Chain A
Amino acid sequence: MSLPIATKPALRRFHQARWDEPIVFELDAPGERGVLPPQVEPGVRETVGDVLADLPESLRRPAPPTLPRIGQARVLRHYLRLSQENLGADLNVDVGQGTCTMKYAPKVNDQLVADPGLRDVHPLQGEESVQGALEILWRTEQALTAISGMDRVSLHSTGGSSAIWTNVAMIRAYHASRGEAEQRDEVITTIFSHPSNAAAAAVAGYKVITIHPDADGYPDLDALRAALSERTAAIMVTNPEDTGIYNPRIVDWVEAAHAVGALASYDQANANGILGITRARDAGFDVCHFNLHKTFGTPHGSGGPGAGANGVAEHMAPFLPGPMVERDGDRFRLAAGGELSIGAVSAFYGVIPTIAKAYAWIAALGAPGLRAVAETAVLNNNYLMSKILAIPGASAPYATGRRRVEQVRYSWQELYEDTGITSEEIGVRAADYGTHYWTSHHPYVVPQPFTLEPTESYSMAELDEYAAILAQVAHEARTDPEMVRTAPHNQTVHHTHHDDLDDPDRWAVTWRGYLRKYPDAPQHRRP
């Protein structure tokens, strides 16, 4: 008899937790409660009387809101069980969410910003009592100024797309200040830039022109030149694009835009592979933005809070949101935004817990570290690409035979033609092996797409594991397509009927809506 020591299987025998956890309303137990708020003191009650009875009739809520009544420990168990039914980036080789830079978010940073000295300070306290918060903002601005090469940085934007909005709002204000607001009513972007560039420009009132790539997958300079005119307000481009291809003629793009009086806006959500390698300002951009929750190692929070940073050249500084942080000797103070400021883009000064985590990340790495981050991220990407392209049925359209920067948009088109299995189905099956995989942004210019961005955070063995999972699923698509088609098989839930979600008569966005539309549905009460 020996201890059961065995070689681990090449692929994990992963199984997601399944708690059959009810919807929180189904936990309702009359009389229970989870937390008690401070009560009205007798002295206060004596002075003010019955404040509820004093309310005008129209303001007095006739009955308490129908929230569930649940004891504290049961609430905790409910949410911890839901957490176990969720695959965070800390738990998997999260390279499958390309364009989002799913890197390791250091635990120490979460601890550092939990300090009550940051958590509990109010944004309108006297400056002498919030010097630490102001210093963090100032230091982060300084660091991002160095990293982007731009003249000024604002941290007010509350996420990457929020920062794209800030860029387009500043662009609009710039042209308005020159009396060209009416004339310049077009924004040019590329199909492989994030959808928010097109969407934010449209929300700002611009007509959006989208440039498609040339035959090699590079942004088409001739198409750009044909589209540019005195009506162009700006080009809003990403580089490297979501294909992982760096536009080598980026300076020509910027100069062509400037030649017609347009501005150049740089979406740097994909900056991870070029930190310390090349800078926005060096290519002549007027404005740029970073996503602190991507490139600068802060956790993505199930979809936020993120934070954005806007870098601008000096001539765009008058349009920055305010207030700005200034250093005055050893002291830090708030000063107004630019004299032609677009105004407030967020409540107060941006998402400080996320900003502080980004600051700590930058401080831990410094200049050599940021460069090592970029180099390691591109090394990992090209390493993973060699593994993925070895899988029969996978390809990387465009720039064939060339290297990529930080990510690759791949295609399963060949596998699909052979098996009928789609990229989406492969992603669902891949989850059965304990990992996340995403197709890509719409539209699917690359057929049956998937985008992998390994970042700098995963070891060679982990990248091998991820590639092995995709190889296994691709193999299953050929040998046992039903297995793939009917996935998932070991997740919390089974194949979901998405038709319910597009029909106004059937969708249920809240429990209240569900109960109204499905009055006969049994509720799963659990003790």
Chain B
Amino acid sequence: MTTPFVHPYLPNSAPEVRAEMLAAVGAESVEEFYADIPAALRLTGDLDLPEPLVAEADLSRHVRGILGKNRTRLSFLGAGTYHHHVPAVVDEVIGRSEFLTAYAGEPYEDHGRFQALFEYASLLAELLEVEVVNVPTYDSLQATATALSMAVRATGRTRILVASDVRADVLSKVEDFIRPYASLEHVPTVDGIADVAAVTALLGDDVAAVWVSTPSATGAVETAMTQLAEATHAVGGLLVAQTDPIGLGVLTPPAAQGADITCGDIQSLGIHAWFGGGHAGFVGVADDPRLVMEMPHRLFGLASTSVEGEYGFGDVAWDRTAFAHREEGKEWVGTAAALWGIAAGVYLALMGPQGMVELGETLLARTAYARKVLTALPGVSEADGAVHLREFVLHLPRPAAEVVEELRAKEIEAGVVLGEHELLVCVTEMTTQADIDLLARELGAVLGTATDATTHTPVLEEVAR
């Protein structure tokens, strides 16, 4: 220690305390504790960082100053992160210190955490119609990669058929993840959904899984899930359905149509957008040990206790995990997204069956409405005729990137550019009829106006992935 630095976060940095503690352990200075670090590795001088903002008020001003440069806008952006309502009770619960700052407590002192996560899994299981749901993994990318690798292990096969239009970021992760032991084959979709005949023709007894995304990357809802499941099962493969549970108040869950593994993201269920940082992944299966034992995540289950009638909790089949077996585990376990799972549990408890039904209907209706009024604009057409939930693709008569830029100038985020003339438009329960009408009006104005081509933003296409 060169100069005393006493900080509110560091109770024992006060010189007198430090001296007392050093004396208690019989050390001359903290240098003794670093005796194993060779001198050549010791940093000389200070780290190159800005001056500390020790006063809380100064820190607040600094951080708020930076965040104040962000602006929220009327937005029709989706593509993986969605703007849904987060009920106030959700934020209240996950803001509680007892949940927010807990970590790896045992079932005794963290009974509430185990119960809240068991309840999350149970509530999501009702929506998905499965019996086993994991403690959340990171996001839909990880969940999908894991689900597909589970299918590879469970079947001992290596081919995966991609039957839907899947998001580029999910695909990127899956490709990198399964690279050592499986391969992907893409089956082009027809009118936005799976080409059942083409998928069937490619099926064989070497197929581990057929991967369906519903809604797909374009928001199309798969209608032939049952046929796909039957064809896949006929050759001994598994159907892996990647989904967003938000519509399942009204839509048939994939598991009820034959999907063996359901996976996806719960960001829609009570988690803010957080600039794309509010994601959590789920994997759900039937209570079939063949699949359950392939799940790498923590599973929290009910257990009896020494008191009759009392619910206890604990880790189910701990021996599946890397925590128990290091490289013999199916995948690693680590800090992922448990708090978001608690959030989604609170969300579903608040929404109840009626809430999820009404939300599903609102999403379908607003989606249909937006499609109708936007395709009524001259030169604007739909990319496909599938059923859509929340998102759909418009074909525009002008380059989509230019249109997006021009609407940004009017504080509207019109959608995500998918192709030169393709725009992915998203509506949620937060997007009112008036919002949609405003987009139609402004989009119409932009399309009706011959403007100089504004410089388009190549980065947008990259990040849209």
Residues from chain B with Cβ under 8 Å of A397 in the complex: none
Bitwise, A182-202 to B at CB < 8 A (1) or not (0) is 000000000000011011111
Interface string of A334-350 (1 = CB under 8 A from B): 11100000111111111
CB of A493 within 8 A of CB of B43, answer: no
> By the criterion CB–CB under 8 Å, are B80 and A277 in contact?
no
**Chain B: which residue is nearest A46 at the CB level?**
B369
Given contacts A161-B335, A368-B52, contact A129 B71 (CB under 8 A): yes
A34 engages B361 (CB within 8 Å): no
- Take A38-B362, A85-B111, A508-B301 as given contacts and tell me if A65 and B248 are in contact as well, using a CB distance cutoff of 8 Å: yes
Give the contacting residue for A304; candidates B64, B332, B338; CB below 8 A: B338
Jot down 12 A-B pairs with beta carbons below 8 A, ordered by A: A24-B349, A38-B362, A44-B433, A52-B361, A90-B101, A110-B100, A117-B71, A126-B408, A276-B46, A303-B336, A305-B335, A352-B274
The 7 closest A-B pairs by CB, nearest first: A161-B334, A348-B276, A205-B180, A366-B52, A123-B276, A303-B338, A34-B350
B154 interface hit (Cβ, 8 Å) = no
Verify A23–B312 contact, CB threshold 8 A. Answer: no
| Chain B, residue nearest A201 (CB) | B327
List which A242-286 residues lie within 8 A (CB) of chain B: 245-248, 250-251, 273-274, 276-279, 282-283
**Residues of chain A in range 93-142 having any CB-CB distance to chain B below 8 Å:** 94, 97, 100, 102, 104-106, 108, 110-133, 135-136, 139
Specify which chain B residues have a CB less than 8 angstroms from the CB of A113 in the assembled complex: 67
Q: Mark A203-214, 1 if CB is under 8 A from B, else 0.
A: 111001010000
Measured CB to CB, the closest approach of chain B to A126, in angstroms, equals 5
Per-position contact with B for A497-527: 1 when CB-CB < 8 Å, else 0? 1101110100111111110100000101000
Of residues 227 through 249 on chain B, the ones whose CB sits less than 8 Å from some CB of chain A are 248-249
A512 and B66: CB pair below 8 A? no
Q: Is the beta-carbon distance between A276 and B112 smaller than 8 angstroms?
A: no
Q: How far is the CA of A467 from the CA of B289 in the complex (A)?
A: 43
| Residues of A with C-beta under 8 A to B211 | none
A336–B458 Cα gap in the complex (Å)?
A: 10
Among B21, B48, B267, contact of A379 (Cβ-Cβ < 8 Å): B21
Assess whether A78 is in contact with B349, with CB atoms less than 8 Å apart.
yes
Given contacts A23-B122, A102-B103, A496-B313, contact A86 B327 (CB under 8 A): no
Are A58 and B324 within 8 A (Cβ)?
A: no
Interface bin, chain A: 35 or more
Which residues on the B side are within 8 Å of A25 (C-beta)?
119, 122
The answer to whether the Cβ of A438 comes within 8 Å of any Cβ in the partner chain is yes
Least CB distance, A146 to chain B, in whole angstroms? 4
Cβ contacts A407-430/B at 8 Å (1 or 0 each): 000000000000000000001100
Asked if residues B50 and A363 are in contact (CB atoms below 8 Å), the reply is yes
- Complex interface: chain B residues within 8 A of A385 (CB): 25
Q: How far is the CB of A266 from chain B (nearest CB, A)?
A: 12
Is the pair A251, B356 in contact by a Cβ cutoff of 8 Å? no
Q: Is B190 an interface residue (CB 8 A)?
A: no
Measured CB to CB, the closest approach of chain A to B173, in angstroms, equals 5
Q: Mark A47-83, 1 if CB is under 8 A from B, else 0.
A: 1100110011011111011111110100110111111
Q: Which residues of B contact A222 (CB under 8 A)?
A: none
Cβ of A515 to closest chain B Cβ, rounded Å = 10
Say whether A159 contacts B335, CB under 8 Å.
Answer: yes
B206 within 8 A of A: no
Q: Is the CB of A442 within 8 A of B325?
A: yes
**Contact between A38 and B85, CB atoms less than 8 A apart:** yes
Given contacts A25-B122, A352-B274, A68 and B433 within 8 Å (CB-CB): no
- The A-contacting residues of B in range 337-371, CB under 8 angstroms, are 337-340, 342, 345-346, 348-359, 361-362, 364-366, 368-369
Shortest distance from the beta carbon of B432 to any chain A beta carbon, whole Å: 7
Does A169 interact with chain B (Cβ within 8 Å)? yes
A117–B68 CB distance below 8 A: yes
Q: Which residue of A lies closest to B145 (CB)?
A: A203
9-residue interface stretch from B28-36, B155-163, B194-202: B28-36
The reply on B225 being an interface residue by CB < 8 A is yes
Contact: B332 with A363, CB < 8 Å?
no
Give the Cβ gap from B154 to chain A, nearest Cβ, in Å. 15
Q: Tell yes or no: A290 within 8 A of B by CB.
A: no
Q: B106 contacts A124, CB within 8 Å?
A: no
Bound-state CA distance A223–B33 (Å) is 27
CB proximity of B311 to chain A, nearest CB, Å? 7
CA of A218 to CA of B366, assembled, Å: 63
Does any Cβ of A come within 8 Å of B125's Cβ? yes
Q: Which residues of B contact A41 (CB under 8 A)?
A: 432-433
CB pair A442 B324 closer than 8 Å: yes
Q: A34-B351, A299-B101, A302-B342 are in contact. Are A436 and B334 (CB under 8 A)?
A: no
Contact A366 B49 (CB under 8 A): yes
Chain A 343-369 per-residue mask, 1 if CB under 8 angstroms from chain B, else 0: 111111111111110011011111111
Q: How far is the CB of B115 from chain A (nearest CB, A)?
A: 5
Q: A75-B346, A343-B176 in contact; A364/B59 too (CB < 8 A)?
A: yes
A429 to B13: give the CA distance in the assembly, Å: 32
The residue of chain B having its C-beta at the shortest distance from the C-beta of A441 within the complex is B323
A329 at the A/B interface (Cβ < 8 Å)? Answer: no
- Residues of chain A lying within 8 A (CB to CB) of residue B116: 79, 82, 86, 302
Question: Which stretch in A3-11, A310-318, A370-378, A476-484 binds the other chain?
Answer: A370-378
The answer, among B9, B35, B73, B357, for a CB contact under 8 Å with A104, is B9
> Is residue A162 contacting chain B, with contact meaning CB distance below 8 A?
yes
Q: Which of B17, B168, B225, B337 gathers the greatest number of chain A CB atoms within 10 Å?
A: B337
- Name the B residues within 8 Å of A79 (CB-CB): 89, 93, 116, 342, 346, 349
Give the segment of B129-137, B391-399, B444-452 that binds chain A. B129-137
Is A497 in contact with B304, judged by CB distance below 8 angstroms? yes
Q: Does A147 contact B (CB under 8 A)?
A: yes
Contact B408 A303 (CB under 8 A): no
